[in-house]
């Protein structure tokens, strides 16, 4: 099923639950269903680095605090939304700072380690205003236009769930059945109906995961020329 806006998802879930449909008709169910849709979206969002939710962002370091000069907008799970951070044209990701390294002895201007920010040092939760997420050691590390930080990160569309007209970027039938199962489980509905909704949700999610996992991937990043096929390239 296609992607739908939050308000459309609410209405379709209302219908799925055999409630009377119509904008603002369900005074006391629409908010609850809207939150269950968001909860279901968070659940499925974290299951994979979904293609349609991840992108490469480019940032510059400020050279003094290890922070990027521009924040990340649309994160939902903080640093857990970051897949990998590369420096310049390197394919190898910068490693996380280990606690057995004293970072303050690190010097120089080349980025070497990434440290997720402490909870009190960054905006927490879903932050439309943006988050810094991490800092790079040594703190004096610098980047340039030719050699920026490149961050593979999972981001939501702007104003997702705060503007009901914004499209929720995930399969609608999966989210509708997931939200409906949660709602139905709470209101004494026929157990068979709850089970059916839950199974519909899980089956669809499993199907999407299988689709995602069967995509053609290059297995050896050193062989990055797709015109040269060798035993390190995955094929069906």
Partner 1 sequence: MRKIKLPSVDKLQAAVARDFRGGLNTFDSPLNLNSKYLIDVRNLYPDSNGKLSLRYGTSPFADVLEDQATTAAINEIVGMEYYAGAIVVVGANGNIVTVDAAGVVDLRWSTAIAALLPGAPSGWSDPITYVSFTQFAGQLIICNGVDKPVTMDELYAMTYVQDPVSGTNTNTPRAKYCTTHDGHLVMAVTPTDTYTVYVSGQGVTSFDPDTGTNGANMDTSIYVDRGVPVITGLATYRDRLVVTYQETILAIQFILPTSAPVEFDVTDIVSGYGAVSHKAITVIGDDMLMLDTSGVISIKRTALGTDFIPEPASSLINTDIQKALARFSNTQLTEYVYSVHDRIAHQILFFIPVIDTVTATTQNDVFVYCYDKSQKFRAWTRYDAMPYRAACRTTEGRIFYGAGTDVRYYHNAYEPRYTDVGTIGEQAWDDGDLWDDGTGWEEGYTETPIAFSMDMPWADFKQPLNNKLSKYLSTFSEGTGSYTVDMYIDQFPDPSLSMFFVQDSGPHGATYNHRPPNNEQLYAWPQKFMRMRFRISGSASDAFSIIAVGILYLTGSVRR
Q: Residues in the site for partner 1, rule: CB under 8 A?
A: 17-29, 32, 181, 185, 187-189, 191, 194-195, 198-199, 202-203
Q: With respect to partner 1, which residue has the nearer C-beta, 6 or 76?
A: 6
Between CA 203 and CA 11, with CA 194 as vertex, the angle to 5 degrees is 85
Closest separation in Å from C-beta 197 to partner 1? 9
Distance CA 185, CA 156 (A): 28
> Minimum distance from CB of 188 to partner 1 (Å)?
4
Which CB sits closer to partner 1, 26 or 143?
Answer: 26
Shortest distance (Å) from residue 207 CB to partner 1? 13
Task: Say how far apart CA 140 and CA 61 lie, in whole Å.
Answer: 9
Closest CA to 54 of 130, 152, 126: 152
Contact status, residue 115 vs residue 96, Cβ threshold 8 Å: yes
Q: Give 127 or 194: the residue with its C-beta nearer to partner 1.
A: 194
For partner 1, which is the closer residue by CB, 157 or 164?
164
* Listed residue (118, 112, 62, 65) closest to 85, CA to CA: 112
Q: Which is nearer to partner 1, 46 or 110 (CB)?
A: 46
Residue 68 Cβ vs partner 1, minimum distance, rounded to whole Å: 41
Q: Compute the least distance from the CB of residue 113 to partner 1, in Å.
A: 40
Residues 128, 72: contact at Cβ < 8 Å? no
Residue 50: DSSP 8-state: -
Maximum separation of any 2 CA atoms in the chain, in Å = 65
């Amino acid at each position: 099923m296609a992607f739908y806006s939050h308000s459309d998802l609410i209405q379709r879930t209302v219908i799925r639950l055999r409630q009377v449909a119509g904008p603002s008709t369900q005074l006391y169910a629409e908010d609850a269903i809207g939150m269950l849709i968001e909860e279901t979206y968070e659940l499925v969002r974290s299951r994979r680095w979904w293609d349609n939710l991840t992108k490469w962002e480019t940032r510059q370091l400020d050279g003094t605090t290890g922070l990027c000069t521009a924040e990340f907008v649309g994160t939902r799970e903080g640093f857990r939304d970051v897949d990998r951070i590369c420096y310049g044209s390197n394919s190898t990701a910068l490693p996380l700072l280990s606690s057995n390294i004293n970072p303050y002895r690190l010097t120089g201007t080349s980025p070497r380690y990434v440290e997720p920010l402490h909870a009190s040092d960054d905006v927490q939760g879903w932050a439309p205003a943006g988050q810094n997420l991490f800092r790079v050691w040594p703190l004096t590390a610098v980047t340039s236009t030719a050699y920026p930080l490149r961050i593979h990160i999972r981001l939501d569309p702007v104003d997702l769930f705060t503007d009901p007209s914004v499209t929720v970027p995930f399969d609608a039938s999966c989210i509708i059945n997931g939200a409906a199962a949660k709602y139905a489980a709470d209101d004494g509905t026929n157990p068979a109906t709850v089970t059916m909704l839950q199974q519909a949700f899980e089956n669809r999610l499993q199907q999407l995961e299988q689709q995602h996992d069967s995509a053609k991937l290059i297995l050896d990043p050193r062989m990055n020329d797709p015109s040269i096929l060798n035993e390190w390239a995955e094929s069906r």
